[in-house]
């Protein structure tokens, strides 16, 4: 077995490398141990650690008898992105109990069906805005469209303008959580504080009888969620979990920016998806658009890796880590693992055509892995796929075009996306419009008038 002291010797270098290399961190570590390795020693977050990848590593990482999530995620990430006390920090029966409400709220097919017409409406309106001369980037359009749709789906009150503003706050939390050395992180903390207060007030309004959201909506279910002892969650924590039911959909906007880049680079796929959308008469659920969405998720994961805490001494593929050490799953290295995927480095949406049970693909983990009910796979994954596919269908409309400028990606930044967010304009227009998110000059945002 490899010596744990080898990981300790690399602690400072590896911790710094994560900040400076970003999505290239795993690749750099694998170079130390050879191309075929499934595990590598490292030091991280003050503890001996082991980096793992591949389908076998997924099985290890999500085995709750050996690896726990509680205490593994750095506080600067956990508190900012997920919120204090959220389901992401739980294990065992407590995790499964609270996760069950997420499954009821987000995972059931009926919930996807409720969201679908809202996505259709929002993306049709975004298309109209572009055709009228608007210049929102694909990313900015997605933040608004996804935010308004998911908040209506969740049973929230408020105008479209108010939903758009909150969506931007939630998107900024996602954008800033991974850069603790920058002012964006401070802004993320401020937006987290505001969002927690606002969500808490919504929960309190439901409990006081001032709001009456429909049963089955996220607002209703979290307002009345009880813990394993039958006690209502504190209103602030219930509001945090309400946000955790909505924010992942808004985070999908980052995938939309990557989708815009891939569609720009692959005009033949844009044409195929446009034809499919026209034939179906809907932006929702087209098989080609879904396949394209899945390949975007495979090749452009949200985070490069996830940490877990070993609850016993663990040996894996010639390496070992003691109880209390970290086991780190290389998300990007698994999604691009050449042992699990043919032409792993190629962008090939056709690999997902006809694949209905994507959860059975052990090495496909852009939203976590293992069983959704018992493990840490995101229960909102179906919603994310539906939303991303609808955006891809909208962006494939031949009446609009995606600009080639600003599509470079900074792989050192966490999380990342194409720099411009994917500039979109009416085909043939000279001006991309207001890239900050406004509509054509003098008309204002059409969503704020509804």
**Token pair 């840490």 is at which residue?**
376
129: closest CA among 108, 118, 144?
A: 144
Q: What is the pLDDT of residues 303-350, one digit of tens each?
A: 889 999 999 999 999 999 999 999 999 999 999 999 999 999 999 999
Task: Give the residue from 60, 35, 57, 56 showing the smallest Cα distance to 345.
Answer: 35
Average pLDDT in the 429-449 region?
41
Examine residue 196 and say whether the peptide bond preceding it is cis (omega within 30 degrees of 0): no
Pick the range with the lowest mean pLDDT from 103-117, 341-355, 422-436.
422-436
Per residue in 117-147, pLDDT (tens digit) is 999 999 999 999 999 999 999 999 999 999 9
Q: Is the pLDDT of residue 437 over 70?
A: no
Q: What is the pLDDT of residue 79?
A: 63
Model pLDDT, residue 408? 97
Angle between helices 381-395 and 109-131 (to 10 degrees): 30
Mean pLDDT, the chain, as a whole number?
89
- pLDDT grade for 95, boundaries at 50, 70 and 90: confident
pLDDT of res. 442: 33
State how far the Cα of 74 lies from the Cα of 220, in Å rounded to an integer. Answer: 31
Domain 89-303+344-449 architecture: Orthogonal Bundle (1.10)
Tokens (6 digits) for 313: 């001494």
pLDDT-derived band at 2, boundaries 50, 70, 90: very low
d(CA 37, CA 206): 53
pLDDT of residue 443: 36
Would the pLDDT of 72 be above 80? no
pLDDT attached to residue 4: 44
Q: Are 318 and 353 in contact (CB under 8 A)?
A: no
Q: What is d(CA 79, CA 179) in angstroms, rounded to the nearest whole number? A: 14
Instruction: Give the β-pairing of 39-44 and 47-52.
Output: antiparallel
pLDDT digits (tens, 9 = 90+) for 152-177: 999 999 999 999 999 999 999 999 88
Give the start-to-end residue ranges of the domains of the chain: 89-303+344-449
The predicted pLDDT at position 253 comes to: 98
- 8 has a pLDDT exceeding 60: no
pLDDT of 440 strictly over 60: no
> How much is the pTM?
0.90
Q: What is the DSSP string of 413-437?
A: SSS--BTT---EEETT-S----TTS
Q: Tell how strand 305-310 and strand 39-44 pair up.
A: unpaired
Q: Which residue has the higher pLDDT, 441 or 304?
A: 304
- Write the CB contacts of 393 (distance below 8 Å, at least 6 apart in sequence): 123, 273, 276, 277, 283, 284, 286, 289
pLDDT reported for residue 121:
98
Report the SS3 class of residue 128.
helix
């Amino acid at each position: 077995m490899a010596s744990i002291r080898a990981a300790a010797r690399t602690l400072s270098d590896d911790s710094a490398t994560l900040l400076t290399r970003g999505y290239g961190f795993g690749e750099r570590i694998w170079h130390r141990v050879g191309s075929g390795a499934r595990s590598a020693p490292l030091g991280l977050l003050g503890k001996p650690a082991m980096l793992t990848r591949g389908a076998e590593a997924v099985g290890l990482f999500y085995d709750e008898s050996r690896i726990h999530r509680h205490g593994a995620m750095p506080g600067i990430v956990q508190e900012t992105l997920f919120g204090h006390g959220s389901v992401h920090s739980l294990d065992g029966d407590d995790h499964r109990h609270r996760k069950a409400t997420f499954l009821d709220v987000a995972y059931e097919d009926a919930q996807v069906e409720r969201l679908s017409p809202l996505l259709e409406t929002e993306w049709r309106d975004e298309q109209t805005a572009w055709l009228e001369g608007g210049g929102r980037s694909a990313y900015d359009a997605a933040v608004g469209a996804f935010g308004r749709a998911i908040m209506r789906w969740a049973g929230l009150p408020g105008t479209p303008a108010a939903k758009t503003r909150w969506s931007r706050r939630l998107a900024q939390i996602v954008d800033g959580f991974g850069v603790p050395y920058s002012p964006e992180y401070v802004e993320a903390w401020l937006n987290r504080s505001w969002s927690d207060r606002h969500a808490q007030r919504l929960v309190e309004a439901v409990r006081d009888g001032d709001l009456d959201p429909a049963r089955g909506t996220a607002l209703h279910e979290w307002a009345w969620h009880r813990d394993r002892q039958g006690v209502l969650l504190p209103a602030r924590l219930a509001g945090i979990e309400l946000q955790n039911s909505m924010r992942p959909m808004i985070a999908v906007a980052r995938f939309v920016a990557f989708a815009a880049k891939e569609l720009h680079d692959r005009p033949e796929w844009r044409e195929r998806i446009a034809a499919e959308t026209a034939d179906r008469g809907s932006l929702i659920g087209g098989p080609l658009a879904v396949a394209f969405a899945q390949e975007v998720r495979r090749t452009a994961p949200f985070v490069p890796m996830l940490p877990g805490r070993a609850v016993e001494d663990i040996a894996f593929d010639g390496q070992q880590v003691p109880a209390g050490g970290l086991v780190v799953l290389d998300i990007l290295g698994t999604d691009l693992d050449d042992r699990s995927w043919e032409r792993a480095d190629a962008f090939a949406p056709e690999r997902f055509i006809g694949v209905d049970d994507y959860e059975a693909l052990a090495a496909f983990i852009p939203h976590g892995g293992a069983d959704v009910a018992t493990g840490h796979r995101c229960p909102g994954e179906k919603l994310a796929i539906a939303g991303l596919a609808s955006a891809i269908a909208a962006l494939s409309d031949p009446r609009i075009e995606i600009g080639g400028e600003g599509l470079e990606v900074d792989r050192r930044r966490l999380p990342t996306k194409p720099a411009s967010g994917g500039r979109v304009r009416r085909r043939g227009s000279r001006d991309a419009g207001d890239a900050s998110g406004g509509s054509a000059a003098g008309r204002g945002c059409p969503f704020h008038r509804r």
